[in-house]
Structure 1
Amino acid sequence: MDYRLLFKKYWIVPVLFVIGIITLVQYTERDEHVVTENEQQLQEHDMPEFERISQENDQQEEMIIYVDVKGAVKNPGVYEVKETDRVLTVIEKAGGFHENADINQVNLAAKLVDGSIVYVPKIGEQASNDNNQSPSNNKININNATMEELQTLTGIGPSKAEAIISYREENGPFQAVDEIKNVSGIGEKSFEKIKDDITVQ
């Protein structure tokens, strides 16, 4: 048998065989790729909504806020915290409670607000109804204001600010704003200048 003649006559057969093998391999690889993508989409679809939201939230950077801590803490001041932190966190940053702090009047679980004031009253002192005070209230609380804060009031200098603090320490918190006229050096004229800028709550 002359194989050369046979090959010339049927050469197309092995060529078609090779082309078929190559086509089959490519088709198989494409199917595997499609199956992988479909499985991934199916997994994402089956994932509960709250899990997807949780993952998205974890990727977002938590917002930083600033809170002013005053009163009976070891290191009063402005502290940087996360928006998800609570009053307990910022008090710990302020060094913790002072030994004369009345912790029963402080809601340690309260949420923090950017620009707010957290005031810790002393034992025997009546705290504000809201220890996490909103920055929208610009009035000076004469029951817990510092020397510096009192001096921002019209006509109140260092001596009068010191007199106000001494009065509330000796007599307890002010019950009404006009009670400040009982402080030495603050008469009716001085009161008229500051009455709209002060509060006792």
Structure 2
Amino acid sequence: MDGDGRLATLLGTDRRRLTLGAVLVLVLAAVAAAVLLSATSAARPATVVPVLAPTAPAAQDAVVLVHVLGAVRRPGLYPLPAGSRVVDALAAAGGLAEGADAAGVNLARRVADGEQLRVPVAGEVAAPTSGEPERVDLNTATEEQLATLPRIGPSLAARIVEWREEHGSFSSADDLLQVSGLGQKTVDGLRDLVVP
């Protein structure tokens, strides 16, 4: 083989090596970029967006009428799908008005056809309205029934039942003061809503 032939063979081998080397460098660069991108996205905290599932109506075309008044933006009479809850009725009424006491109503309670739902202003205790029980018997009410009272949620209702089981029956609304988490203001607001 003459000198020119050997030189051509060597140059061809060097070009293949260069091409192979360049491809290898590009592959390594791509892998490094992918690892870096993965590490960067893993370092960022995930954004959690709460999603509220719509309330499923009892029947496709069933509608209940609810009169929403008090501390809401647009008081009025609203048709809602059967099975709707207080939160749905408040949304239909434009939401709570400034100064409204959201703790004064049970947002999770289902609404009834023909109900009048009154949202109190902060510091005011909501009186019983149509569609809600007028008085709750402290000595026989279930946790669910107690939780319908203003400012009494599931945990306080459970404590009331627990106190009743440990100490016997309530003789007056003032006995509620012995239940952990209930203060004078709340008990005063419940006097006309409960029967001991």
- TM bucket (normalised to shorter chain) is 0.3 to 0.5
For the pair shown, which has the larger CA radius of gyration, 1 or 2? 1
Between structures 1 and 2, the one with greater helix share:
1
TM-score by length of 2: 0.39
